Amino acid sequence: MAYSLIFVLLGLLALGLLYRFRRGRTSARVLENPADYIRSVDIQAFRNLIDPAEEEFLRRNLPPAEFRKIRRERLRAAVEYISCAAQNAAILLRVGEAARSSPEPAVAEEAQKLMDSAIRLRLYALKTMSRLYLGIIFPGWTISSQPVAESYEQVTRQVVRLGLQYPLQGVSAAL
């Protein structure tokens, strides 16, 4: 009975994550001024939320019930950061699609790299968000979210490189 309930909950969680992933699609009006739609992500704060050493410090210095409560709050905040990063990746994917049609080969190549990185980031985000939600449900599980932070930083660097060759209307500053 308990296993059935767990599988049903995991299935519902997977459906919810797929819905959020699908809902992240952006409209064509985003291309008019993408910087207006980018949500800032503080990578250092995100890294702090998922830092195993920080978690171990909290585990040692807080009573178990208080630690579980704080850990769930930290994981919810991490989910919010990842959600913003995934939404930004969807916007950058649209920007990359537009830039890929540039007649300049260097711009088209950088745009393709940006698109590849944005897709990778969205996939990492989906995978990591499912792990974080499981960590919220089962507070004893350890969770690794490093690929999301590293992938987001890579996308940011690619936006800067593309912005040197293609007008991005302040997108790199918004990231």
pLDDT in tens, 138-153: 877 777 666 778 888 8
**Can you give the pTM of this predicted structure?**
0.74
CA nearest to 17, candidates 164, 153, 132, 143:
132
How many whole angstroms from its chain centre is CA 23?
14
Task: Tell me the domain boundaries of the chain.
Answer: 2-174
What pLDDT score was predicted for residue 23? Answer: 47
Q: Where are the beta strands (DSSP E) in 10-136?
A: none
Average pLDDT over residues 4-26: 67
Contacts of 108 (CB under 8 A, 6+ apart): 99, 100, 101, 102
Token pair listed for 37: 């739609």
What pLDDT score was predicted for residue 173? Answer: 55
Average pLDDT over residues 67-82: 92
Residue type, 57: F
Q: Is 172 helix (H, G, I), strand (E, B) or coil?
A: helix
pLDDT in tens, 100-134: 888 888 888 888 988 898 898 888 888 888 888 88
What pLDDT score was predicted for residue 73? Answer: 94
pLDDT band at 81 (very low <50, low <70, confident <90, very high): very high
Q: How far is CA 34 from CA 29, 43, 174, in A?
A: 8, 20, 9
Phi and psi at 80, nearest 5°, equal -65, -45
